[in-house]
Amino acid sequence: MTDQEARYDRIAEGYATWWAPIHMPATLGLVRRVDDALAADGARRAAAGADAEPGAARPAGVDADAETPLRVLDAGCGTGLLLAALADGRPDARLTGVDLSAGMLAIARRNLLAAGTGIADRCTLVQASLDHLPFPDASFDVVTSAFVLQLVPNRHRALRELRRVLRPGGLLATLVWVAGAPGLGADEAYEAVLDAHGLGDGPAEGDATDGDAEGDATDGGATVPDDDARDDRDDRDDPLDASRAAARLRRAGFARTTAEDDTLRHRFTPQTYTGFMRSFDDEDLWASLAAQQAVDLERDLLARLQALDAGALHLELPIAYAFGRRSPRP
């Protein structure tokens, strides 16, 4: 088991409760864009007749000629919410979700069973790495991937695998983090409270300091815990903008690439931010505290957060939707 696999097994329940709802509106935006792309394919085929684009992706639900189900792969399906949304709009589609984490797949199975009649029956879940997919060439008509490519050790290799399992003309639809995420004021407040309780990287209240203590975890004024679950958006190798995200797809062999910039926005309250940190983002630290220490820390954190301007609790993360097609040539 890889370290990453073990990590996501460990945080799977917290991810489903706290992080998935934050990014889900942006993820559902990927579903809308896939719908639009497939509808446009269907319109082109209808307008041009039987001679239209032999490599075009199939229209939503069913191939116009073969009457065979649309085959969809969600690469890095996580908790299965994107997979369920894709299935909900395509009653005749057959869908596969792949994830490295068995813990995530267990939650995905639960969410698919709760999603609606027959959805789980049309979805297959497979534990595998994106750079070694256990499918034959040209197995799928559509491949989606939301906030996953930043996690694989070799993005180019993973993109080549996604291209391999797409049929010629098939659609790849991705959603990725973009570099340059601004700091969150609430994170600074959180670190200050940790320091005051002797739990952070800085000095506890009353300690002497010259202002240059080693171990300061700040980055442009915003601090991020070492095991921050939001490390998923670490921008060391994220594209600078949507055009760079599209360029990555072209380098991996995709054609007809398009992309658009967007922003993921979420408004915390003092209570939901505290719950997010305590139960997910910094769960290990909170679990290590004595009961009264946790009560005191939560009380002081809520007081500090309630004194902040509302903007300090508004999370804004740059994202990009990027799309490509597998060209008919090898």
**DSSP structural state of residue 153:** S
Tens of pLDDT, residue by residue, the chain (330 residues)? 777 788 899 899 999 999 999 999 999 999 999 999 999 988 888 887 755 454 445 544 444 444 589 999 999 999 999 999 999 988 889 999 999 999 999 999 999 999 988 999 999 999 999 999 999 999 999 999 999 998 998 999 999 999 999 999 999 999 999 999 999 999 999 999 999 999 977 544 444 444 343 333 333 333 333 345 455 544 458 899 999 999 999 999 999 999 999 999 999 999 999 999 999 999 999 999 999 999 999 999 999 999 999 999 999 999 999 999 998 776
Please state, in angstroms and rounded to a whole number, the distance separating the CA atoms of residues 305 and 190: 8
Other Cβ atoms closer than 10 A to 288: 10
Please state, in angstroms and rounded to a whole number, the distance separating the CA atoms of residues 123 and 10: 24
Which two tokens mark 282? 């910094």
Q: Which of 36, 29, 39, 330 is nearest to 174 (CA)?
A: 29
Handedness of CA 90, 143, 96, 151 (dihedral sign): negative
- The residue count for the chain: 330
Please state, in angstroms and rounded to a whole number, the distance separating the CA atoms of residues 92 and 53: 23
User: Which of helix, strand or coil describes residue 52?
Assistant: coil
| Model confidence pLDDT, tens digit, residues 282-328 | 999 999 999 999 999 999 999 999 999 999 999 999 999 999 999 87
Please answer whether residues 149 and 174 qualify as being in contact, where contact means their C-beta atoms are separated by less than 8 angstroms.
yes
* Domains, the chain: 3-181+229-268+316-326 (3.40.50.150), 185-227+270-313 (no CATH)
Residue at token pair 């002797």:
198
The edge-to-edge listing of strands for the beta sheet with 314-326 is 123-127, 94-99, 71-75, 140-146, 166-177, 314-326, 254-267
Please answer whether residues 61 and 68 qualify as being in contact, where contact means their C-beta atoms are separated by less than 8 angstroms.
no
Q: Which of 6, 131, 171, 147 is nearest to 78 (CA)?
A: 147
> Which pTM does this prediction carry?
0.84
